A and B are shown apart, each in its own frame.
Chain A
Amino acid sequence: MMEEKIKNIMASVFGCETSEIVDSSSPDTLENWDSLRHMNLIVALEEEFNLNFTEDETMEMLNYKLISIVISDKLSVKK
């Protein structure tokens, strides 16, 4: 469920198909993942999961796998 939501958001933000998003998807492999769209990704994820990322977290979240780890960590703390 969480994975699917993240992939959908990444697809909307980067204008690609969800099937293109894999664990290693990163600014190096996705054409549209530049620094401005990274900001879009962060705010879209914050909106979706009702979270606030710290600046350090936003800088860590640089591939799909890392993004899902940061989010699931934060969600478990929240519970």
Chain B
Amino acid sequence: MIDLKYSEILKLNKQLGLALQEEQFKVTVLANIITHQLNEIFEYTLRTENINAVVRSGDYDNIVQDAAKFNDSDLIIIFWEAANLIDGLQYKANLMDDAAIELFVSKTCTEIDFALASLQSTSQIVFNKFSSIVFTNNNIKKNKFDIICNKLNAFLEKKQQRNLLLIDIENIIASVSVQKSVDFRFYYSSKALYTIEFYKKYVSHIKNVIFSSKGKSKKALIFDCDNTLWKGILGEDGFDKIEMSGKSKNGVLFEEIQSMAVDLSKKGILIGLCSKNNAEDVENVINHHTDMIIRNEHISIKKINWDDKVSNLKTIAKELNIGLDSLVFIDDSDFELGFIKSLLPEVTLIKVPTNLYEYPSLVRENLSLFYSNSESAEDAKRTELYKQEVLRADEQKTFDNIENYLQSLQLAITIFLNPTNLIPRLSQLTQKTNQFNLTTKRYSEADISKFMNSNDFINVAFEVADKYGDAGVVGICILALNKENKTASIDSFLMSCRVIGRNIETAFLNFLLKYLEDIGIEIVEAQYIRTLKNSQVGDFYNKHGFECVHDSENEKRFKLKLADYKENKITYIKINDGREN
């Protein structure tokens, strides 16, 4: 997108718009300047990822009123340009006295409050922070216009609104340069301030917010080893000659790369190795080389062998239970990367640059691929969780029958009804879970808290633990109740793929149905919506004795009379009631 000309974007965007059949993703841009050139660039960028975006602009300089009018959008972007808060604020500010500035700031804050209040129920608001940089970047001292922007930003940063994301627009202006970000020719004649070049950078900056909410952000970063984690070839140069510390000219770059990887692993990104090497040699480096920063505790998976990397990456995706399109792979070999690209085009590839000093910044530029809207306590534990998964898989091999194995695990699930403290985690689960997800409805934190506050919905979450450890909150069911008709319908039923294969879903469903019966429900309705990734749950309701009442290509609908339900008792899973804690 960055390399395309504007006229090419317009043309390609029109073609994509005609081809996409997906449900529309409605974006509204509210602004007090003209920003229409953003719309098609943003549409095009999302459409290339199969998101059928439709971007429209609110009326010019009508943000407060339009916030109420367009609050059903999936995303609201707010360009509240400081210089046009009143016409010519960039110079009028300097003529104001302190009292006038205070009054002006407080009036603007009231307007911001009004707008944000109207947008409480919108899934996501992207709000650019106020900036004076375009007008004041040559000044040595701050002027009154800068001060107004600072005060407004301080106010914004204090806002506690779950759906509000503030964007440091000055970072984007800096990456384009002030001069190339704005076109004063159109600002003074038409109030259109920013250039195409600016909008392209802006879009590539914020697109990951949308990708994350659509479950499209990357989950794992996989490294080759030689000349990727360290300088040199272990099998040829040897243990003592590979470089990855500040003690050598090239080593310092790899120290930075390894440190970034460790930081990512702490944020819940899975780190893996996929390398043609002798496994014991690499293990020796990981365990004993004093310069290594990445250690086994940071690594979720290793495929170090002489098999081809395509098979290894496939195995990695399978064992981590994530899609190939969630992987980012770094290697220094064009041959390997070319081979992977031809057979696994879904994997995002990064080539170690020939100029090694460009390597850390290249990786840094790609970090936004891993952007996640919500970070939760589970993120930090994830590396550990996936490692437990690998341990369990090992033990599974020694049991000849899966039931015996499951018996030995000492599984327990703890149930939580409408747990308001878990809103970020539950929203994140709806956004990230692709495989064991019956309806794949994505919900923001604002959506989940709406369900929690409504008497017509029940959110049931559960946590799983076994003798190896605690997997945290890994599943949720959202139920819509119709008490008059004694009917409940299952809006969402999903579970993280890391606990698949233990019949936890059956134990959870048993609990839910019993619970519904206890509160007087007689009929349960359910739905399966087919996606590219959830075929494994296509027969989930059939298997549990629901009657299929509708079956089309994209959707199945089910009905169950609770009186008829024949429970398949899972004796080896203990169920705890989280309400008692």
Contact = CB atoms under 8 A, between A and B. Distances in A.
Interface stretch (B2-10, B246-254, B547-555): B2-10
Interface stretch (A23-31, A42-50, A71-79): A42-50
A12 B13 CA distance: 10
A63 interface: no
B505 to A, nearest CB: 49
A35 B5 contact: no
Interface stretch (B185-193, B209-217, B222-230): B185-193
A55 B192 CA distance: 14
B7 A58 contact: no
B6 A47 contact: yes
Contacts of B34: 36, 39
B190 A43 contact: no
A68 interface: no
A11 B186 CA distance: 22
Interface residues of B, number: 18
Question: At the interface, is chain B mostly helix, strand, loop or mixed?
Answer: helix
B562 interface: no
A58 B183 CA distance: 13
Contacts of A40: 6, 10, 36-37
B11 interface: yes
A11 B185 CA distance: 24
Pick the most buried of A8, A39, A55: most chain B CB atoms within 10 A of its CB. A39
Interface string B30-64: 00001011000000000000000000000000000
Nearest to B185: A55
Pick the most buried of A12, A13, A40, A48: most chain B CB atoms within 10 A of its CB. A12
B414 interface: no
B189 A44 contact: no
A39 B6 contact: no
Given A8-B7, A12-B8, A48-B5, A43 B185 contact: no
A37 to B, nearest CB: 9
A16 to B, nearest CB: 11
Nearest to B37: A40
Contacts of B37: 39-40, 43
B118 interface: no
A58 B5 CA distance: 20
Given A43-B196, A44-B5, A12 B185 contact: no
B186 A39 contact: yes
B14 A15 contact: yes
A21 interface: no
A66 interface: no
A39 B192 contact: yes
Contact of A35 (B7, B11, B14, B190): B190
A33 to B, nearest CB: 14
Contacts of B5: 44, 47-48
A13 to B, nearest CB: 6
A76 to B, nearest CB: 23
Interface string B73-112: 0000000000000000000000000000000000000000
A62 interface: no
Pick the most buried of B5, B10, B195: most chain A CB atoms within 10 A of its CB. B10
A9 interface: yes
Interface of A: 8-9, 11-13, 15, 35-36, 39-40, 43-44, 47-48, 55, 58
Interface of B: 5-8, 10-11, 14, 34, 36-37, 183, 185-186, 189-190, 192, 195-196
Closest 4 CB pairs of A and B: A44-B7, A12-B11, A12-B7, A12-B10
13 contacts: A13-B7, A13-B10, A35-B190, A36-B36, A36-B190, A39-B34, A39-B186, A39-B192, A40-B37, A44-B5, A47-B5, A48-B5, A48-B7
